[in-house]
Chains A and B, each alone.
Chain A
Amino acid sequence: MAFAAFGSSAAPVEQAPRKKSWIAWVLLAPGLAYLALFFLTPFVSLILTSLQAPVEFGDVGQYQTAFKIENYATVIEQYWPHFLRAFGYALVATFFALVISYPLAYFIGVTARKWPLLQALMLTLVIAPFFISFLLRTLAWKQLMSDDTPLVHALKALSILPPDGHLTGTAFSVIFGLTYNFIPFMTLPIYTNLERLDTRYLEAGADLYAKPSTTFWKVTVPLSMPGIVSGTLLTFIPASGDFINASSTFLGSAQTQMVGNAIEANFLNLLNYPAASAMSVILMALILVIVGIYVKRSGTEDLL
C-alpha cells in the first residue's frame, strides 16, 4: 500500500508469542477512535454529500440525500482543466523540489558529516521557514515577484520577460511557490536516508571500477530510494491538492486555478457542496492510483 512508503525500513521482526494481545488493543484504541471519528466519519459523509441533489424549489445551498452519480460526470466535464493543472503543476514542482533537495540533502547528510556544526546549522536553515506562517511566506513571494519590483524590472531589462509580462498570476509563479513551499518536505526524508548512507559502499564501487558518477547512479541513488519516495510523496500529494499558491490572492490567477481552488470555490462561494465533494473524492482516488503505481514502479517495496 502506498502509505507504507512512510513506514520504517526495518525488516519484519519475528513475533514473540503473543499472550496479552488485549494490551495492544487498549493502546491502539485512542488512535482507532480518533481515525473513526475524524477520518472515517467525514469520509463517509463526504461520499454521501457528493451524491446529493438540490432540494426542489429550495434555497441556494439546500441539498437532500440522493444517489445522483451524474455529479461526478458534471464536475469532470466542468473542471477537467483544473485536475490537469493540479497534477501537472504538482508533478513539475515535485521534480524541481527533488532536483534542488537531493544535492542539498546529500551535502548535509554525507559531505558535511565531518563538520557536525555545519550539519546542524544547515538543517536548521532547511527547517527555518517553518517558523514563519506558510501564508505569510507565500505573500512575501507575491510581493517580491509582483510588477514594479527590481526583480521584474531586471528580467524585463534582460528581455527574459516581455515588456508587458508579469511574474505573478502565471504558471511559473504557481510552480515556483509550490516548489519553494515543499522543499523542506523533500529535503528532510532524503536527508534522514542519506545520513545513514554507509560510505563504504561508495568505496566498494570505486574499487570495482565504477566512476564516481556511475557509483552515484548505481549505488547511492538506489540506496536512497526510500528517502526519494517518501520525499516525492510528501511533496506531490499535498501539492496536487494545494489551493493557496494557485489562488488569485496569492501567486496565481484565474488561468492557473488548480482543483483545490475549484473545491474551495464550490464549498465556500458557490455553496455547491455535492460538486465540491465529488471533486474531493475524485482527487483522492486519483492520488491513490498515481501513488500506488509510483510505489510499485519505483521498486522500493522491499526497501520499505
Chain B
Amino acid sequence: MAAGTFAEAGADLELVGITKRFPGFTAIEDLDLTIPAGSFFALLGPSGCGKTTTLRLVAGLEQPTAGRILIGGKDVTNVKPFKRPVNTVFQSYALFPHMTVLENVAFGLRRRRIGDPLGKAHEALRLVELDHLASRKPQQLSGGQQQRVALARAVVNRPALLLLDEPLGALDLKLRRQMQLELKTIQNEVGLTFLHVTHDQEEAMTMADTVAVMNRGEIEQMGAPEELYELPKTAFVANFLGQSNLFTGTVTSSSGATIVVEVAGVKLEVPKERAQRHAGEVTIGVRPEKLLLHTTAPKKAAGLNILGPGRVTDVSFSGVSTQYQVVIPGVGPVSVFAQNMVFGPVVNEGAEVWVTWTVDHGFGLLDEPEPGPKFASDTDTRTIAVQTRDELLAEIEEA
C-alpha cells in the first residue's frame, strides 16, 4: 500500500493450495479459499484446527510450506508482513505497554506517514468509546477495554483486509453483543474485508456473511450461516454448529423425492436433495428444535417421521425453551428443544413419549458412518475441541 493513503475498498483474499507444516505435524493441508472483497468471513473451528495458523499466514507472520496467498489479486506470499495491506486484532491484544492508548492507536498511522495521526487515533477511539482513556497506559485498562483499543488500533489503518483473532473472547456478554454490532457497523461503513477467526459458533453465525467450518487443517463446509445450520454436510459441522440428533441406518429405497433409511427397524425419510449420499450405510440427522414431543402415539402421515415410544430421562428448563433427553430403545438418546408456550415443562421425567418431525427438516450426511459410538450426544464445542485435540495428539504420536 502506498504510504500516506488509506485503502479505498476491501480486497479479495485468495489462498491457493496452502499447506503449512510444523516440525512434527501438519497444521494446514492443501487449503483453497477465496474471500470476496467486502465480505465478513468467519473461520470457525475448535482450537488446534489450523484457523489461527491460517490467519497468521495471511498476516505474513508465518510462511506457508507450499501454496500462494493473493490479496486483491496480488501475490503476497513472499511479501514481508509490514508491507501487506493487512491489520490484525491479536488474541493477546499485543498493545505496546510503554505507549499510551493514543500512541498505540496512532502507531500504524505514523509508520505510514498519514497526516494528522493523533486526530485520526482520537476518532478511532471515539468509535470504540474509549477516547476518555486516551492518555492511559494499556495496563491501566480492563481486558475488555484493551480489546477495544486493539480493535481501534487495527481499524484506524483502514486496511484492505482486517484479520480478527478471537477478538471478543474476553468480553462479557453485553459488551460482546455491543462490539459485535459495532464491528458489523464498521464493516458496513468502510466496506473492508473482514476475516474473523473464532471458536464461538454463535459469534460466527450472527456476524459473518459466510462461515467456513474448519477441522484438522481442512475446511469441512462453507456457506451462509443459515445454510450451514439447516443443511450440515458432515457430522462435525452438524455437531459443531448447534446440536444435532444423528441416526445411522441403511438406505432401503431411494425412489421418488426421498430416501428411506431404516434405523432400528423404523423407516425414516429424508429428502433426496438434502441428503449427500443415496445408498448404503448413511447417517441422517435432525435439529433438536425441529422435533415435536407427543404423549400419545401419533398417527402415521405422509411427510412425517415418527420415533418412539421412548422415555424422558432428563428435563432441563432454560427459560426460552426446555430441553428434553429422550431415550428410544434401539436408537439411543435424542434431544428435543421445545418452546415454552405454557408454564413449565409439558412432560416430566420418566414419561413415555413419541417424537416426530417433518421429513423436510431432516438431512443426510456425507461421512462414512464411524465405528464405535454412533451418536455423539455431547455436542458442546469444548468437548469436541478436547476430542479433536486428543485425536490430533494421537496422530502426532503415531507419526
A residues with a Cβ closer than 8 A to B are 11, 198, 200-201, 203-212, 214, 218-219, 222-223, 225, 302-303
| Interface pair A219/B96, CB less than 8 Å apart | yes
A181 to chain B, nearest CB (A): 32
Per-residue CB contact flags for chain B residues 93-126 toward chain A (1 = under 8 Å, else 0) read 0111110000000011001100000000000000
How many residues from B make CB contacts under 8 Å with A?
Answer: 25
Residues from chain A with a CB closer than 8 A to the CB of B83 are 209
Q: Does B86 contact A (CB under 8 A)?
A: yes
Which B166-212 residues have a C-beta within 8 angstroms of A?
none
User: Which A-B residue pairs are the 3 nearest by beta carbons?
Assistant: A204-B94, A208-B108, A209-B111
In angstroms, Cα B83 to Cα A257, docked, is: 54
Query: Would you mind naming 24 contact pairs between A and B with Cβ atoms under 8 Å apart?
Result: A201-B96, A203-B61, A203-B81, A203-B90, A204-B88, A206-B61, A206-B81, A206-B82, A207-B61, A207-B81, A207-B87, A207-B90, A208-B82, A208-B87, A208-B153, A209-B83, A209-B111, A209-B157, A210-B107, A214-B111, A218-B107, A219-B98, A223-B97, A223-B98
A18 to chain B, nearest CB (A): 26
Residues from chain A with a CB closer than 8 A to the CB of B61 are 203, 206-207
B residues with a Cβ closer than 8 A to A are 59-61, 80-83, 86-88, 90, 92, 94-98, 107-108, 111-112, 137, 139, 153, 157
Add 10 more A-B contacts to A204-B95, A206-B61, A206-B80 (CB < 8 A): A200-B94, A203-B61, A204-B96, A205-B82, A209-B82, A209-B83, A209-B108, A209-B157, A210-B107, A223-B98
| Interface pair B60/A208, CB less than 8 Å apart | no
In angstroms, Cα B61 to Cα A212, docked, is: 13
| Interface pair A211/B82, CB less than 8 Å apart | yes
In angstroms, Cα B108 to Cα A152, docked, is: 52
Residues from chain B with a CB closer than 8 A to the CB of A212 are 82
The answer, among A200, A218, A219, A222, for a CB contact under 8 Å with B90, is A200
Residues from chain A with a CB closer than 8 A to the CB of B153 are 208
In angstroms, Cα B139 to Cα A303, docked, is: 12
In angstroms, Cα B94 to Cα A223, docked, is: 13
| Interface pair B82/A210, CB less than 8 Å apart | yes
B242 to chain A, nearest CB (A): 33
In angstroms, Cα B93 to Cα A201, docked, is: 9
Looking at B59, B88, B96, B153, the one whose CB has the most chain A CB atoms below 10 A away is B96
Would A208 and B111 be within 8 Å (CB), given that A201-B96, A203-B94, A223-B97 are in contact? yes
Interface of A is mostly: helix
A147 to chain B, nearest CB (A): 50
In angstroms, Cα B87 to Cα A206, docked, is: 10
Looking at A201, A204, A206, A219, the one whose CB has the most chain B CB atoms below 10 A away is A204
| Interface pair B111/A210, CB less than 8 Å apart | yes
Residues from chain A with a CB closer than 8 A to the CB of B98 are 219, 222-223, 225, 303
A83 to chain B, nearest CB (A): 35
In angstroms, Cα B108 to Cα A214, docked, is: 11
The answer, among A200, A205, A219, for a CB contact under 8 Å with B92, is A200
Residues from chain A with a CB closer than 8 A to the CB of B88 are 204, 207
Residues from chain A with a CB closer than 8 A to the CB of B137 are 302
Residues from chain B with a CB closer than 8 A to the CB of A203 are 61, 81, 90, 94
In angstroms, Cα B107 to Cα A275, docked, is: 55
B87 to chain A, nearest CB (A): 6
Residues from chain A with a CB closer than 8 A to the CB of B87 are 207-208
Which B residue sits closest to A214, measured CB to CB?
A: B111
Which A residue sits closest to B139, measured CB to CB?
A: A11
In angstroms, Cα B86 to Cα A72, docked, is: 65
Which B residue sits closest to A299, measured CB to CB?
A: B98
In angstroms, Cα B137 to Cα A209, docked, is: 22
B166 to chain A, nearest CB (A): 14
The answer, among A198, A204, A205, A207, for a CB contact under 8 Å with B86, is A207
Residues from chain A with a CB closer than 8 A to the CB of B96 are 201, 204-205, 219, 223
In angstroms, Cα B96 to Cα A204, docked, is: 9
A214 to chain B, nearest CB (A): 6
Residues from chain B with a CB closer than 8 A to the CB of A208 are 82, 87, 107-108, 111, 153, 157
Residues from chain A with a CB closer than 8 A to the CB of B112 are 209
In angstroms, Cα B111 to Cα A210, docked, is: 6
Which A residue sits closest to B112, measured CB to CB?
A: A209
Residues from chain B with a CB closer than 8 A to the CB of A214 are 111
B156 to chain A, nearest CB (A): 10
Looking at A198, A200, A206, A219, the one whose CB has the most chain B CB atoms below 10 A away is A206
A11 to chain B, nearest CB (A): 8
Residues from chain A with a CB closer than 8 A to the CB of B94 are 198, 200-201, 203-204
